Amino acid sequence: MSSKYEKMWDQLGMDIPAHDGLLKALGNFYGDIYLSQEGRLKGAEYLDFVLSEVHGLRIQELVEAKERGSKVIGTFCVFVPEEIIWAANGICVGLCAGAEIGQEEAERVLPRSTCALIKSFMGFKLARICPFFESCDLVVGETTCDGKKKAFEILDEHTPVYVMEIPQMKEGRDRELWREEMVRFMKCVQGLTGLTISAKKLSEAIRMINDRRRVLLRLNRLRKAVPTPISGRDALLVNQISFYDDPPRFIQKIGELCDELEARVDKGEGVVPEGTPRLMVSGCPMAVPNWKLPFVIESSGAVMVGEESCIGTRNTRDLVREDGRTVEEMLDHLVDRYMKIDCACFTPNNERLEHVVQMARDLEVDGVIHYALQFCHPYGIESFRLERTLKEAGIPVLKIETDYSNEDAEILKNRVEAFVEMIR
């Protein structure tokens, strides 16, 4: 891939040798974790294709769209209302932040005791290694956790950053604040793209992003089947890809993949033998290419059947109402939908506890693994109440705290194996 796209990467200002090293490592990693799986679906060819062209074809599409006047806006959080971006003829991309990249550069400006996700996005930018980042006309940050909030001040010195204020509670006044923030964001996006958002465009964007959520909901429903028809790794990858592939293409391809899964379910076929312990992961998002824990789980005799996370059900569970007629009405509907997000940055956040128990029951899981990134206070601290709630509901739980390095892979494997043995 490198020769074909090298000129484009160079024009984006990337560090080509470092980027070549990343692609090589990513290719090997992907081969070990994904291509080694047996009995994969035909639809997984789309996943392999998107991954193999992740820094090539998709970036070329972004560059061409920019040449036609579109703007690329990068985000780090599912709180950013992407419908507004698409409605203004922008392109929204989730900036991944799931690998230990540019660690040295990141630790020059951030304390070592910063969560891996924040270090990762800072590292990607400072090391000039991510073509998505380098294609962005604007990066949107948010005030979800203290680490991100303060890191965006530093990131702003390297790329234009706009920060949305996210409420910390869910009272009436918080809703008001969030509505104001939506309007402020809409003005910012309109200023960038030079387009005024019409009711028609916003309505189309709402439907498109809802359709993307719907296809992911369909995938989640199919994963309820026993035996499960798709590996947790592949399902996670589908969710990860949803953040940066073209939405209409993604909806079509994942729809086809779901058709295939449906046929498997009808025949009673699965990727693992019946009786394989079913686990669900709950907690911090697993941004691409963070596949460490899913791989550990699925090489320890269990299968991952759900992710209660922003790269999972937290991002797909709720749809935006589609019956708004004016921009004002649609903004209200967007506010309603986004205020349902149960990120640990909220206090109190009892909905999340209820959602996790509900999801564990719906998916008939044998246990929940709570996953928190080291130094993530919101999820790390919330795990105490979540663990207690799950235990009270009679659902076994294992709490894991880790980062993006592979140093603890063996320890994690031992702990997950012991957990699987215990619930078996």
Compute the distance between CA of residue 1 and CA of residue 13 in angstroms, rounded to an integer. Answer: 18
| Binding string, residues 259-298; x marks residues near ligand BJ8 by CB under 6 A | -------------------------xx-------------
Residue 96 interacts with ligand BJ8 (CB under 6 A)?
A: no
Residue 310 interacts with ligand BJ8 (CB under 6 A)?
A: yes
Q: What six digits make up the tokens of 47?
A: 């996943």
Compute the distance between CA of residue 404 and CA of residue 293 in angstroms, rounded to an integer. Answer: 10
Of the listed pieces 72-80, 87-95, 177-185, 384-392, which binds ligand BJ8 according to CB under 6 A? 72-80
Residue in the block written with tokens 């990068």: 74
Q: Around 324, how many Cα atoms within 13 Å sit in the side-chain half-sphere?
A: 25
DSSP state of 302: -
DSSP state of 115: -
Residue 312 interacts with ligand BJ8 (CB under 6 A)?
A: no
Of the listed pieces 57-65, 189-197, 326-334, 372-380, which binds ligand BJ8 according to CB under 6 A? 372-380
Least distance to ligand BJ8, CB of residue 117, Å? 4
Residue 87 interacts with ligand BJ8 (CB under 6 A)?
A: no
Which residues in the 133-152 window bind ligand BJ8 by CB under 6 A?
Answer: 144-145, 147-148
SS3 label, residue 367 = strand
Of the listed pieces 105-113, 171-179, 375-383, 399-407, which binds ligand BJ8 according to CB under 6 A? 375-383
Residue 266 near residue 385 (C-beta atoms within 8 A): no
Least distance to ligand BJ8, CB of residue 18, Å? 24
Q: What six digits make up the tokens of 208?
A: 């498109």
Residue 118 interacts with ligand BJ8 (CB under 6 A)?
A: yes
Cβ distance to ligand BJ8 smaller for residue 30 or 152: 152
Q: Cα dist. 58→19, 39, 278, 385 in Å?
A: 16, 27, 34, 41
Residue 250 interacts with ligand BJ8 (CB under 6 A)?
A: no
Residue in the block written with tokens 């686990």: 279
Cβ distance to ligand BJ8 smaller for residue 302 or 310: 310
Residue 379 interacts with ligand BJ8 (CB under 6 A)?
A: yes
Nearest to 209 by CA among 237, 179, 250: 250
H/E segment holding residue 93: strand 90-94
- Phi, psi at residue 156, to the nearest 5°? -60, -20
Among 79, 86, 132, 291, binds ligand BJ8 (CB under 6 A): 79
Q: Around 400, how many Cα atoms within 13 Å sit in the side-chain half-sphere?
A: 28
Please state the length of the chain: 424
Residue 106 interacts with ligand BJ8 (CB under 6 A)?
A: no
Cβ distance to ligand BJ8 smaller for residue 85 or 302: 85
Of the listed pieces 6-14, 195-203, 239-247, 376-384, which binds ligand BJ8 according to CB under 6 A? 376-384
Residue 74 interacts with ligand BJ8 (CB under 6 A)?
A: no
Compute the distance between CA of residue 148 and CA of residue 75 in angstroms, rounded to an integer. Answer: 12
Residue 47 interacts with ligand BJ8 (CB under 6 A)?
A: no
Q: What six digits make up the tokens of 305?
A: 């059947």
Least distance to ligand BJ8, CB of residue 307, Å? 12
| Bond into 111 cis (ω within 30) | no
Residue 236 interacts with ligand BJ8 (CB under 6 A)?
A: no
Among 280, 373, 398, 420, binds ligand BJ8 (CB under 6 A): 373
Residue 117 interacts with ligand BJ8 (CB under 6 A)?
A: yes
From the number of C-beta atoms within 10 Å of its C-beta (0-12, 13-18, 19+), residue 224 rates as middle
Q: Return residues touching ligand BJ8 (CB under 6 A).
A: 77-79, 115, 117-118, 144-145, 147-148, 284-285, 310, 341, 343, 345, 373, 376, 378-379
